[in-house]
Amino acid sequence: MAETSRETAANGKWASARTVLEMQGVHAAYHGDISILNGLSMTVKETCITGIIGPNGAGKSTALKTMYGFLHPTQGTIALEGEEIGQLPPYEMMAKGVAFVPQNRSLFNDLSVEDNLRPGCWAFRSDRAKVARELEKVYAQFPILAEKRGDLAGSLSGGQQRFVELGRALVVEPKIIMLDEPTAMIAPKISREIYAFIETLPERGITVVLVDQNVRQCVRISDYVYILDLGRNRGEGTAETFASDDHLKEMVAEWLDYQID
């Protein structure tokens, strides 16, 4: 009953929330001719968690990279707060309050934990007091990083390295965080901590776009979920929809057995 109430609340939240990011009919390709996205449309709503799932090769990570400017659409539009952003580079996305945490590790292994966090403070680097405050917020969120702030990032476990990447995204003070497979190759205990952390972000006023292979967890924490396959929309809905729509359940069942749980 409690879970049903949560799903109903999520459905209502999504319906009433304001659109902050939107893709319409987006096509994108690597090297000009390797087409990955084929007319993809998605809506991201304010202080909601928007999940993106699908089988391997569906275009999930490519969708996220195209939203952030690592790839540019060959057709279609991407709008942030009503402004066309499809041709912007990633550094301009950061300036607009959008943070990106990639699937593959993005740390400088030979630098300390704190030195890996500091690039997130670049926009306000001259304000030493603010830099110190933002770093302390990260250490309060992930106490293990406070203990290891002087350790080399390369000496940390995979889960601890992910905490550093999440912390670096937080110090940007983002309005939107894009997460690409945040628990891939992470131990179950740390994965649970990461999902619990993601669930708190909307409460802080942060909108989340989550690409995930862990279908069950993604559907559980998301307010709205898109299913991708071959770079196209195959289905979408709230967690409540996924629980009651046999067609969606059958679609996911085609490849669910291969997902990380």
Contact 39, 62 (CB under 8 A): no
| Predicted local confidence at residue 259, as pLDDT | 44
**Centroid of chain to Cα 3:** 23
Residue percentage of the chain with pLDDT more than 90: 74
261, pLDDT greater than 90: no
* 3-class state of residue 140 by DSSP: helix
45, pLDDT greater than 60: yes
Q: How far is CA 146 from CA 55, 114, 223, in A?
A: 37, 9, 32
**Centroid of chain to Cα 48:** 11
> With bands split at pLDDT 50, 70 and 90, how would you rate the model's confidence at 199?
very high
| Predicted local confidence at residue 105, as pLDDT | 86
* 3-class state of residue 205 by DSSP: coil
Q: Which of 4-18, 23-37, 58-72 has the highest mean pLDDT?
A: 58-72
* 3-class state of residue 233 by DSSP: strand
| Predicted local confidence at residue 162, as pLDDT | 95
The mean per-residue pLDDT over the stretch 202-217 comes to 94
* pLDDT tens-place string over residues 103-144: 988 899 999 999 999 998 988 889 999 999 999 999 999 999
Contact 85, 95 (CB under 8 A): no
* pLDDT tens-place string over residues 144-180: 999 999 999 999 999 999 999 999 999 989 999 999 9
Edge-first strand order for the sheet with 34-45 is 34-45, 19-30, 75-80, 83-84
* pLDDT tens-place string over residues 48-104: 999 999 988 899 999 999 999 999 999 999 999 999 999 999 999 988 999 999 998
- Residues 6 or more apart whose CB falls under 8 angstroms from that of 254 comprise 55
* 3-class state of residue 112 by DSSP: strand
CA angle 55, 158, 151 (to 5 degrees): 155
The mean per-residue pLDDT over the stretch 181-191 comes to 93
Domain 1-88+212-256 annotated CATH 3.40.50.300? yes
> What is the C-alpha separation between 45 and 204, in angstroms, rounded?
15
| Predicted local confidence at residue 11, as pLDDT | 65
| Predicted local confidence at residue 216, as pLDDT | 87
| Predicted local confidence at residue 244, as pLDDT | 77
The strand pairing partners of 75, in sequence order, are 27
257, pLDDT greater than 60: no
Tokens 């649970």 correspond to what residue? 192
Contact 164, 117 (CB under 8 A): yes
| Predicted local confidence at residue 255, as pLDDT | 63
Mean pLDDT of the chain: 90
